[in-house]
Amino acid sequence: MVDLATKSLLHDKLRFLITVSGVAFAVTLVFVQVGLFLGLMDNASLTIEHLNADLWITSHDTKNIDFAHTFPETHVKRVRAIPGVASADNLIVWFMNISLPTGSVEGTEVYALEDFTKWNFPWNVTGGNLEDLRRGNYMFLDSSAEHRYGGPFAIGDYREVIGRRLKIIGRSTEAKSFTTTPLTFMNFTLAQSLVPSELRGNTTYILVKLEPGANVEQVKAEIRRRLPYNDVYTGKEWAARSRNYWVESTGLGLNMYLTVFLGCLVGIVVVAQTLYTSTMEHIKEFGTVKAIGGGNADIYSILAKQATIAAVLGFGLGALMAYAMRPLIYKIDLKLVIPTPLFAYVFAGSVVLCLAASMISFRKVASIDPALVFRN
Amino acid sequence: MILEAKEIRKSFTEGKESFDVLRGIDFGVERGEIVSLEGPSGSGKTTFLSILGCILTPTKGDVLIDGEVANAKKLNDIRKRSLGFVFQQFNLFPSLTALENIEYALNVKGIRGREARLEAERVIEAVGLGDRQAFLPRDLSGGQKQRVAIARALAGKAPILLADEPTANLDSVVGTQVLELFRALAKKENRALVIVTHDPKVRAVADRVVKIQDGRLS
């Protein structure tokens, strides 16, 4: 079978390039926009997922993990007494100022626990021993601080946090928050002493591990009964609530949908326009196909194949460009998360939208009179 | 008769006015016969050829192919099975080689694979372009393009060949060569050939000359 569709498409290489580039541009836009969105969402709940607590107790109506509010640290004792609770620990998440060797002051997001090893947090330690954090004015700093604070740091260096000189005794990687503020890890009581006005005698969260086989809903109900002015969530619920806050409050979700829509629109317009122009230029050829006995099905198979080729190649090129951008995006402390299902959806979307774009050309060709082959 | 037209009338409407282009034409052609259909511009000869080629349907009258009335719902099938066309502008697919142009026409007619390739090679050899089969139309001369178009019409053994001004875009010498080739192949393969033309050279190869004027045969 002679492949008129492919040969005709490749015959005009410039137009073919424009068509494929249009699709590739749209695909890259969708991958980057959705990938960035998923990357940000990943960061928004990254620490929640890695702390892996069965239940989170927060102050009432806390919107997300970064914007914590205080409540008495003694609440944890009431929680530990609830049947089904294996263990419960206080956690402070709090923004503090850190002075840098350059003389500038930056923000840091402090995570403070009594026992970091118990919670395996931070999860990717690249230097130092978490056990040592409880032994004095010490801190761990995440590697992302190097980029954000504009210079490297080493274990053994000192930094002032709210006027207190703390020694860096370890470092982690991959610990990030939605705000991109570098994370610092320190002992619970040390954190309380740094901000006594707000944190003395207080915590911001209680992390709960349940006993095997414990009824989650029953434990939650009991926590609510004993701590009526707090909220309680499962790890998944709290992660979702934290992510949703950013989606809804910042317009991030709307922005993503809008860009994806515009990307698709650009792709459709480019493919539709180039296919339509090409069809109009080759209208006599389509007339000839009809004159020699071809039907609309023959012609649509040509247009559909051309649209599919443009979609597949454009998708491949677009995906490649998006992947090539990952290291660049990582360098600015952002993540491009492209899960396998997204590949499948964008691929299917590219093919469907290109086929839809080819319908405009088909409507034109379907109505042509084969007698035009006799006209000059 | 392999091709017969009975009392063909064709009217076109433009705005509120109706024009009678063909006013009752009876026509027939036998297998192996070559007919030259001549007439001035606007006489209706191309419209008549389009109706004979089952591309247009007549307002009144019937076209019969091998004694069977060409049903309006089966025009595509009739064109695939029984008709081969040669156009004034050649109408070759510019992205396909000479051989592929022929093979594609066979594919449209439902002949595929090796059978299509062998038939395309047979007809391209028959028109003397065996050594040009891998050339794109842009690399062929006008005469060579028209020979590829003739080969495309011959491919698939359609019993009726219809040609619209096949020499109009060729110089005199090449035009004569193409017509002689066309005649020889049509006769050899016992095909009916109707040529619409202004070109007096066509008379030399035709068995019969039919004139059309003001929508009637004269």
Q: Cβ of A299 under 8 Å from any chain B Cβ?
A: no
Q: Which of B49, B50, B100 sits opposite A2 (nearest CB)?
A: B100
pLDDT for position A22: 87
Section A310-325 average pLDDT: 94
Separation of first and last alpha carbons in chain B: 20
Phi, psi for A143 (deg, rounded to 5)? -60, -25
Interchain proximity B87–A374, CB inside 8 Å: yes
Interchain proximity A298–B108, CB inside 8 Å: yes
Q: Which of A7, A291, A374 sits opposite B96 (nearest CB)?
A: A7
CATH number at residue B159: 3.40.50.300
Query: Which chain B residues have a beta carbon less than 8 Å from that of A291?
Result: 53, 55, 79, 85, 91
Q: List the single best residue of B46, B91, B106, B133 to mutate versus A (max A Cβ within 10 A).
A: B91
In chain A the beta strands, taken as DSSP E runs, fall at 55-59, 71-72, 85-99, 105-113, 125-127, 138-142, 158-161, 164-172, 183-187, 202-203, 205-210, 230-234
Section A129-157 average pLDDT: 93
Which residues, in sequence order, are bridge partners of residue B64?
B4, B69
CB within 8 Å of A161: residues ≥ 6 apart: A96, A97, A98, A99, A108, A110, A139, A184, A186, A194
Whether omega for the bond prior to residue A196 falls within 30 degrees of 0, making it cis, is: no
pLDDT at residue B193 greater than cutoff 70: yes
Q: Cβ of B198 under 8 Å from any chain A Cβ?
A: no
Interchain proximity B79–A288, CB inside 8 Å: no
Tens-place pLDDT, residues A100-114: 988 999 999 999 999
Interchain proximity A293–B80, CB inside 8 Å: yes
| pLDDT band for position A116 (cuts 50, 70, 90) | very high
Among A144-148, A270-274, A300-304, B151-155, name the one with the lowest average pLDDT. Answer: A270-274
- Only one residue has tokens 């299917």, namely A348
Section B187-210 average pLDDT: 91
- Only one residue has tokens 């454009």, namely A314
pLDDT for position A376: 62
Residue range of the domain that includes B37:
3-217
Phi, psi for B11 (deg, rounded to 5)? -120, 145
Q: Which of B79, B88, B104 sits opposite A291 (nearest CB)?
A: B79
Percent of chain A with pLDDT over 70: 99
| pLDDT band for position A276 (cuts 50, 70, 90) | confident
Q: Which of B46, B81, B112 sits opposite A374 (nearest CB)?
A: B46
Q: Which of A1, A289, A376 sits opposite B89 (nearest CB)?
A: A376
Q: Cβ of A288 under 8 Å from any chain B Cβ?
A: yes
How far apart (Å, rounded) are the C-alpha atoms in residues A220 and A247? 26
Percent of chain A with pLDDT over 90: 62
Distance (Å) from the alpha carbon of B180 to chain A's nearest alpha carbon: 22
pLDDT for position B200: 85
Which helix (H) or strand (E) segment is A310 a member of?
helix A296-331
Q: List the single best residue of A288, A289, A300, A368 to mutate versus B (max B Cβ within 10 A).
A: A288
* A122: number of Cβ within 10 Å: 23
Phi, psi for B86 (deg, rounded to 5)? -130, 125
Interchain proximity A293–B91, CB inside 8 Å: no
Q: Give, in degrees to the nearest 5, the angle at Cα B29 between B27 and B33.
A: 145
pLDDT at residue A373 greater than cutoff 80: no
Distance (Å) from the alpha carbon of B75 to chain A's nearest alpha carbon: 8
Tens-place pLDDT, residues B57-108: 999 999 999 988 988 778 888 888 899 999 888 899 999 999 999 999 999 9
Which B-chain residues 119-138 have CB contacts (< 8 A) with chain A? none
Q: Which of A4, A292, A298 sits opposite B85 (nearest CB)?
A: A292
Domain tally for chain B?
Answer: 1
Predicted complex ipTM: 0.87
